[in-house]
Protein backbone atom coordinates (compact mmCIF):
# COMPACT_ATOMS: atom_id res chain seq x y z
CA UNK A 1 0.00 0.00 0.00
CA UNK A 2 2.80 2.45 0.91
CA UNK A 3 4.66 1.55 -2.28
CA UNK A 4 1.54 2.31 -4.34
CA UNK A 5 1.12 5.69 -2.64
CA UNK A 6 4.77 6.55 -3.36
CA UNK A 7 4.29 5.61 -7.03
CA UNK A 8 1.11 7.70 -7.19
CA UNK A 9 2.95 10.64 -5.61
CA UNK A 10 5.79 10.32 -8.15
CA UNK A 11 3.28 10.23 -11.01
CA UNK A 12 1.55 13.36 -9.74
CA UNK A 13 4.85 15.23 -9.36
CA UNK A 14 5.94 14.20 -12.88
CA UNK A 15 2.58 15.30 -14.30
CA UNK A 16 2.84 18.69 -12.57
CA UNK A 17 6.39 19.22 -13.83
CA UNK A 18 5.41 18.18 -17.37
CA UNK A 19 2.41 20.54 -17.34
CA UNK A 20 4.59 23.39 -16.09
CA UNK A 21 7.19 22.80 -18.82
CA UNK A 22 4.54 22.59 -21.56
CA UNK A 23 2.79 25.78 -20.44
CA UNK A 24 6.10 27.61 -20.01
CA UNK A 25 7.82 26.58 -23.24
CA UNK A 26 5.37 24.99 -25.71
CA UNK A 27 1.85 26.41 -25.61
CA UNK A 28 -0.83 27.98 -23.45
CA UNK A 29 -4.42 29.08 -23.84
CA UNK A 30 -5.52 32.70 -23.66
CA UNK A 31 -8.85 34.45 -23.80
CA UNK A 32 -9.41 37.53 -25.95
CA UNK A 33 -10.36 40.42 -23.68
CA UNK A 34 -11.91 43.27 -25.64
CA UNK A 35 -12.59 44.24 -29.23
CA UNK A 36 -9.19 45.43 -30.49
CA UNK A 37 -8.84 42.47 -32.88
CA UNK A 38 -12.41 42.53 -34.28
CA UNK A 39 -13.41 41.08 -36.72
CA UNK A 40 -10.54 38.54 -36.78
CA UNK A 41 -10.85 37.70 -33.09
CA UNK A 42 -13.87 38.50 -30.96
CA UNK A 43 -14.19 39.27 -27.27
CA UNK A 44 -14.04 36.03 -25.22
CA UNK A 45 -12.59 33.89 -28.06
CA UNK A 46 -10.26 31.23 -26.59
CA UNK A 47 -6.96 30.66 -28.38
CA UNK A 48 -4.03 28.29 -28.25
CA UNK A 49 -0.78 30.24 -28.36
CA UNK A 50 2.22 28.25 -29.50
CA UNK A 51 5.57 29.43 -28.17
CA UNK A 52 8.09 27.25 -29.99
CA UNK A 53 8.18 29.04 -33.37
CA UNK A 54 9.83 32.16 -32.00
CA UNK A 55 12.66 30.15 -30.44
CA UNK A 56 13.74 29.40 -34.02
CA UNK A 57 12.78 32.53 -35.94
CA UNK A 58 11.56 36.07 -35.44
CA UNK A 59 7.94 37.19 -35.69
CA UNK A 60 6.97 38.39 -39.16
CA UNK A 61 4.34 40.71 -40.59
CA UNK A 62 0.90 39.14 -40.55
CA UNK A 63 1.53 37.03 -37.43
CA UNK A 64 -1.10 37.39 -34.72
CA UNK A 65 0.90 37.44 -31.51
CA UNK A 66 0.36 37.56 -27.79
CA UNK A 67 2.60 40.14 -26.16
CA UNK A 68 3.28 41.17 -22.61
CA UNK A 69 2.02 44.71 -22.11
CA UNK A 70 5.25 46.71 -21.59
CA UNK A 71 3.71 48.92 -18.87
CA UNK A 72 2.54 45.84 -16.90
CA UNK A 73 4.13 42.56 -18.10
CA UNK A 74 1.54 40.51 -16.17
CA UNK A 75 -1.08 41.76 -18.63
CA UNK A 76 -1.17 40.29 -22.15
CA UNK A 77 -2.37 41.83 -25.41
CA UNK A 78 -3.21 40.12 -28.69
CA UNK A 79 -2.18 42.08 -31.79
CA UNK A 80 -1.05 41.66 -35.40
CA UNK A 81 2.60 42.24 -36.36
CA UNK A 82 2.63 44.77 -39.21
CA UNK A 83 6.35 45.63 -39.31
CA UNK A 84 9.69 44.32 -38.07
CA UNK A 85 13.14 45.78 -37.38
CA UNK A 86 14.30 48.15 -40.11
CA UNK A 87 10.82 48.73 -41.57
CA UNK A 88 9.41 52.24 -41.84
CA UNK A 89 5.78 52.56 -40.73
CA UNK A 90 3.23 55.33 -41.15
CA UNK A 91 -0.52 55.77 -41.39
CA UNK A 92 -1.67 58.44 -43.79
CA UNK A 93 -5.11 59.16 -45.25
CA UNK A 94 -6.60 56.00 -43.64
CA UNK A 95 -3.92 53.74 -45.14
CA UNK A 96 -1.04 51.84 -43.52
CA UNK A 97 2.30 52.21 -45.32
CA UNK A 98 5.28 49.94 -44.77
CA UNK A 99 8.48 51.20 -46.43
CA UNK A 100 6.42 53.69 -48.47
CA UNK A 101 4.20 50.94 -49.91
CA UNK A 102 0.49 50.84 -49.05
CA UNK A 103 -0.44 47.66 -47.21
CA UNK A 104 -3.49 45.68 -48.31
CA UNK A 105 -5.34 44.79 -45.11
CA UNK A 106 -8.63 43.03 -45.84
CA UNK A 107 -8.87 41.94 -42.18
CA UNK A 108 -9.22 45.39 -40.59
CA UNK A 109 -12.60 46.48 -39.27
CA UNK A 110 -12.64 50.13 -40.36
CA UNK A 111 -10.55 52.11 -42.83
CA UNK A 112 -11.06 55.20 -40.70
CA UNK A 113 -7.71 55.65 -38.88
CA UNK A 114 -5.99 58.74 -37.57
CA UNK A 115 -2.66 59.62 -39.16
CA UNK A 116 0.53 58.37 -37.55
CA UNK A 117 3.89 59.94 -38.43
CA UNK A 118 6.57 57.74 -39.96
CA UNK A 119 8.79 55.78 -37.57
CA UNK A 120 11.53 53.24 -38.18
CA UNK A 121 11.16 50.01 -36.23
CA UNK A 122 14.35 49.24 -34.25
CA UNK A 123 16.07 45.88 -34.72
CA UNK A 124 14.83 43.02 -32.51
CA UNK A 125 11.42 44.65 -32.10
CA UNK A 126 8.06 44.50 -33.85
CA UNK A 127 5.36 47.08 -34.53
CA UNK A 128 1.92 45.72 -33.68
CA UNK A 129 -1.59 46.97 -34.44
CA UNK A 130 -5.05 45.71 -33.59
CA UNK A 131 -7.32 44.84 -36.52
CA UNK A 132 -9.92 47.19 -35.03
CA UNK A 133 -7.60 50.20 -35.33
CA UNK A 134 -10.02 52.70 -33.80
CA UNK A 135 -10.37 50.59 -30.65
CA UNK A 136 -6.86 49.28 -30.06
CA UNK A 137 -4.03 50.13 -27.68
CA UNK A 138 -1.01 49.16 -29.77
CA UNK A 139 2.39 50.33 -31.02
CA UNK A 140 1.00 53.75 -31.91
CA UNK A 141 0.80 54.52 -28.19
CA UNK A 142 3.88 55.26 -26.05
CA UNK A 143 2.93 52.76 -23.32
CA UNK A 144 3.13 49.94 -25.90
CA UNK A 145 5.50 51.32 -28.54
CA UNK A 146 7.94 49.01 -30.28
CA UNK A 147 7.63 45.54 -28.77
CA UNK A 148 10.91 43.81 -27.95
CA UNK A 149 11.10 40.17 -29.07
CA UNK A 150 11.46 39.19 -25.39
CA UNK A 151 7.97 40.57 -24.76
CA UNK A 152 6.39 38.34 -27.43
CA UNK A 153 4.83 35.36 -25.64
CA UNK A 154 3.97 33.41 -28.80
CA UNK A 155 1.89 33.14 -31.92
CA UNK A 156 -1.88 32.77 -31.77
CA UNK A 157 -2.24 29.54 -33.71
CA UNK A 158 -5.70 28.12 -33.13
CA UNK A 159 -9.11 29.39 -32.02
CA UNK A 160 -10.69 26.70 -29.83
CA UNK A 161 -13.79 28.59 -28.70
CA UNK A 162 -16.45 29.37 -29.75
CA UNK A 163 -16.73 26.02 -31.47
CA UNK A 164 -18.59 27.61 -34.40
CA UNK A 165 -15.38 29.54 -35.25
CA UNK A 166 -12.89 26.77 -34.42
CA UNK A 167 -9.83 26.84 -36.65
CA UNK A 168 -6.27 27.92 -37.37
CA UNK A 169 -5.11 31.52 -37.36
CA UNK A 170 -1.58 31.26 -38.80
CA UNK A 171 -0.92 32.39 -42.35
CA UNK A 172 0.60 29.52 -44.35
CA UNK A 173 2.98 28.55 -41.58
CA UNK A 174 3.60 25.17 -39.99
CA UNK A 175 3.09 25.00 -36.26
CA UNK A 176 6.44 24.26 -34.68
CA UNK A 177 5.05 22.02 -31.97
CA UNK A 178 4.83 19.71 -35.01
CA UNK A 179 8.13 20.92 -36.46
CA UNK A 180 9.46 17.41 -37.12
CA UNK A 181 6.87 17.03 -39.89
CA UNK A 182 7.95 20.38 -41.37
CA UNK A 183 11.62 19.34 -41.32
CA UNK A 184 10.76 15.97 -42.81
CA UNK A 185 8.76 17.49 -45.66
CA UNK A 186 11.44 20.09 -46.33
CA UNK A 187 14.52 17.85 -46.34
CA UNK A 188 13.37 14.31 -47.03
CA UNK A 189 11.24 14.81 -50.14
Residue-wise pLDDT for 19-43, tens only, equals 887 777 788 999 999 999 999 999 9
- Residue 187: what pLDDT? 40
Is 36 catalytic? The answer is: yes
Query: How far is 12 from 10, CA to CA, in rounded Å?
Result: 5
Q: Which sequence spans correspond to the domains of the chain? A: 28-187
Q: What are phi and psi of 152, to 5 degrees?
A: -85, 115
Q: What pLDDT, on a 0 to 100 scale, did the predictor assign at position 170?
A: 62
Q: Which of 3, 11, 31, 36 is catalytic?
A: 36
Catalytic residue (one of 51, 79, 136, 139):
79
Residues of the chain predicted below pLDDT 70: 170-189
In whole angstroms, what is the distance from residue 91 CA to residue 116 CA?
5
Amino acid 186: pLDDT: 42
- Residue 171's pLDDT is 54
Please choose, from the candidates 93, 168, 96, the residue with its C-alpha nearest in 3D space to the C-alpha of residue 136.
Answer: 96
28-187 classified as CATH 3.40.640.10: no
What's residue 176's pLDDT? 45
Q: Integer distance in angstroms from the first to the last C-alpha of the chain?
A: 53
Active site residue 79: yes
Distance CA 59, CA 22 (A): 21
Amino acid sequence: MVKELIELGKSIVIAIIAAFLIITFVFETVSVDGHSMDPTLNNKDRLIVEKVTYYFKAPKPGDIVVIKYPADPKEKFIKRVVAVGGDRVKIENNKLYINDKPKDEPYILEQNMRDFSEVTVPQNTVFVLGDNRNNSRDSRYPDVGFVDYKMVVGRAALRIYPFSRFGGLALNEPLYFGFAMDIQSKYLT
